[in-house]
Every structure is written in C-alpha cells, then in structure tokens.
Amino acid sequence: MGIDTLGIDTQEIAAQHRDHVLQSWSVSGGPVHTITRAEGIWLWDETGRRIADMSSLMVCANLGHGHPRIAEAIAEQARRFCFMSPAFATEPKSRLAARLVALAGREHFARVMFTNGGAESNEHALRIARTVTGQTKVFSSYRSYHGATAGAAQATGDWRRLGAEQGAGAGFVKFLSPHPYQDGWSGEAADAAATERALADLERQLRFEGPETVAAIIVEPVVGANGVIIPPEGYLPGLRRLCDRYGILLIFDEVMTGFGRTGTMFAWQGFGRTGTMFAWQGFGVVPDLMTFAKGVDNAAVPLGGVLVSREIARFFEEHPLPGGLTYSGHTLACAAANAALDAYEQYGVLEHVAQTAPVLADFLDRMAREHECVGQVRHLGMFAAVELVSDREARTPLVGYRSSDTVMKRIIGRLYDRGFSTFGRENTLHVSPPLTITTQELEQVLPILDEVLGWVDREMLPARRAAAKDMED
C-alpha cells in the first residue's frame, strides 16, 4: 500500500479520485498523481518525489505554498467566525476593499464587488456593464479564457466555450486580437503593423454590429491560458480609444496577471521586461472595470472580485446592483487576502520579481536560440510561455488548434517525471513559477526544461517532419 509519512493511503486517494471525481476539461477516470504536501515552490507526490511547481499551479500560488502568514490569518479568523452575510460589514472585508481600491488607484476606482473566483468576477463584470450602459452586446477575443460559468463561458474565445454555447450565446461577439508571431509579423515594424491591422479590423466589426448596441469589450491585458500573448505596442491604448469613441466600457480580466505576476501589482499599471528592453505598452491604459482572483489571497480560499470606476460606483449609489452571492466577501477568504497583501508588501515581492525575472527571461531567450522546437518565447515578469513548433521557418505549430494529438501530454509528463510541474495549451508550455522563487531555485530547476526541449528536438521533430513529408508526397 502507498502509505506516506503522514499516514495517507495515496493509492486509495488516487482510486477515489479516478472513480468519483469529474475531471474538468478532461476525460474522467484516467491516471492521476496524489499531492501530499506543498511548501514554497515545491510539491511532494505519492512517490515521495519533490517536484518544482513551475506554473504556480494554475498561475495562482504567487507566494508559493504553505505561506505561514496566510495560514495564521485563516486560523485566527476561524476562531472568531468563518462567514458572515454579505449584508454585514466585517473587518476583513471592509479593510480588503479599501486596500484593493488603493492598490488599483483611488483616482480611478471606488468600489469592489466580491465573488468566489475568476469566472464569477467576469460574469458580474459583464452584468454590471450591461446594466450601466443599457446595452447587451459584449466583444471578446477568440484568444481568451474568462471562465466556465454561463456568461463567462460565452465571453471565452477558445474552444472551451463550445460546450457551453448550446444556442445561448446571444449578445456575445468574438474578434481576433493580435498574435504577432502566429499572424506572421516580424521585424522592427511588426508591432505597429499588427496593431494597425487589428484595431482597424475591430473597428470595422464594431460598425457592422452597431457600436451603440455594445456594452463592453473584455480582454486579458496579457492573454494568459492561451499562451502568454503580450499585445503589440499601441494595441491596448488603441482599444481604450475605440471604447471612448463609441461609449463602450473596457473590462480588463486580471485574474491571472494581477498581484505582481507581470512585475507590477496589476498588468495595466506599469512596465515589465520584454526581451532585452524594459517596456510595457499597457502603461496609462486604465480600464473601467477590472476583475481579479487567484493571487489576491494566494488561492488559499476561493475569492475574486470586480473593481469598478468612480463613475460606475456612482451609478450604483442610485441604482440597485442586479446580482449577489451568498459568499460575497467571505470572511475567511478576506482574512487570507489581507495577509497575502501584507506579504506582497512586507517581503518586497515586486522588488524580488524585478531581480529574478531577468534570470528567467535570459534562460528562455537562450532556449529560443538553441532548440529547433522552440518557435518563440514570451515573458513579462514571472509570466512566460514557450511556443513549440515543428518548423521554425514556417512557424508551424507542433500541435494544431483543438488537435487530439497527445504530444503535449507526453512533453508535460516527461517534465513532471524529471521534477518540473507545469501545464500547456495547444502548442505552448507555461513557465510561471511562484513570484517568491529564488535565483538559486531557478538555476536548479530550469535545466530540466532545457533537457526536455532537447529530447523534443531529437525524438519528436524528425518523426513529425517525416510524417508531414509523407502527406505531401
């Protein structure tokens, strides 16, 4: 039997998972690893093996695992009370709301609606936008993920929306946001060309749809789950201008990018490292609504929310909010979030990211130079992805969109077996470790990725190219 040092029967736990858990976005009943312990950047599984968490799980454990300050705050609040009705003020909720408004900027934002996670945050942001504007249509990008609840799933652009549409997608319009690499742009003028084309196409689409019928445009300032796609220079300011021109609200989904992930507290606030230069085109582009979750409390307890502008806040001082949740502003979650915000500040997490992000960036840039299977690497702060290709010159993805090919599962499995845990989508591998990772830990773990990419070069690319040639012949 697989009994670990804490007395957990890991074989029984794995069997219960296989037999009784519906696995999200996957076929249920397959093999599963059992995690028995987590500390810092490390996970321990049923074999007793130590694995580096190089994706912050789902890009949410920004402060690593088992943070003592957060654990102590949860325990202390639990001894007082765990939950209170949203109608009552509590010290953790009220204090957290004020702190979040201050972090986002009191000159722009005024109020928070608390939710239980990212999907609910986006769901309520859309409802708020529709209520304030009186319009129904929502524009969102095909290259996006906004959650799995009804409205958030409709706003999602990637294939995960398809099972939720079922004829219920009225009012949701998709557009193509720029992806300079996959769209074929290159050279010094690539950003300007990609931006001009994308904004012109979007404005044309808005005119066809009738901009007076559009409530909001929702985007991730840096596209997350679909491959850490950093928008070309000028794109986000252009979005802001379009929204202002047509009276449309701009929503930034910062569920993944918030709380230091890109090097600033929120991605739109500042700059981060791209390549060998410091530049961040999101600077100065302020959304009307901003959603958050994940890193707000280090995923210790489910929590999310929507920050709204001063103008929208004033609207709801005269009109009722058409929404609510039993657990809105859950006391235990808010206590955990206050402790997490303390940790971000007191441990100098943003300053630490500024020191360690160049180490990650330099390594990934080297991977792009040295490995045939790497088409492009993209990184901003501790938010990064490796795009895998079978042909670098043609930029042919190693795995096609919505492909049933198992090659990415094999690559991710090989990384895990060597002590490097991450996830991927289509033909991209995420590299987004906890923001607290040290330079020494990066230097210890990153060579595993180098080794596995070398394996892809040697073992997978020749077979892929031979198969492609056979198809041509």
Query: Domain-by-domain residue ranges, the chain?
Result: 35-66+349-470, 69-347
pLDDT at res. 425: 86
- pLDDT interval class at 381 (50, 70, 90): very high
Element (H, E) at 155: helix 150-155
- CB under 8 Å to 447, separation ≥6 — which residues? none
Q: What is the 3-state secondary structure (H, E, C) of 343-385?
A: HHHHCCHHHHHHHHHHHHHHHHHHHHHHCCCEEEEEEECCEEE
pLDDT at res. 114: 98
Q: Give the CATH class of 35-66+349-470.
A: alpha beta
Higher confidence at residue 84 or residue 463? 84
pLDDT at res. 163: 65
pLDDT in tens, 49-81: 999 999 999 999 999 999 999 999 999 999 999
- CB under 8 Å to 119, separation ≥6 — which residues? 146, 147, 148, 149, 152, 153
pLDDT at res. 384: 98
Token code pair at residue 131: 């209520």
Element (H, E) at 214: strand 214-219
Query: Are residues 350 and 429 in contact, defined by beta-carbon separation less than 8 angstroms?
Result: no
Query: Are residues 22 and 54 in contact, defined by beta-carbon separation less than 8 angstroms?
Result: no
pLDDT at res. 271: 46
pLDDT in tens, 190-219: 999 999 999 999 999 999 999 999 999 999
N-to-C CA span, the chain: 53
User: Identity (one letter) of the amino acid at 127?
Assistant: R
pTM recorded for the entire structure:
0.93
If one counts every other C-beta atom within 10 angstroms of the C-beta of residue 396, the result is 15
pLDDT at res. 171: 92
pLDDT in tens, 249-298: 999 999 999 999 999 999 998 643 333 333 344 456 899 999 999 999 99
pLDDT at res. 405: 83
CA distance 408 to 424: 7
What integer is the mean pLDDT of 302-328?
97
If one counts every other C-beta atom within 10 angstroms of the C-beta of residue 472, the result is 6
- pLDDT interval class at 6 (50, 70, 90): low
pLDDT at res. 473: 58
What integer is the mean pLDDT of 392-403?
91
pLDDT at res. 57: 97
What integer is the mean pLDDT of 134-158?
91
- CB under 8 Å to 430, separation ≥6 — which residues? 54, 55, 59, 228, 384, 385, 422, 423, 424
Which CATH architecture is the domain 69-347 placed in? Answer: 3-Layer(aba) Sandwich (3.40)
Token code pair at residue 11: 């074989």
Q: What is the pLDDT of the chain when averaged over all its residues?
A: 92
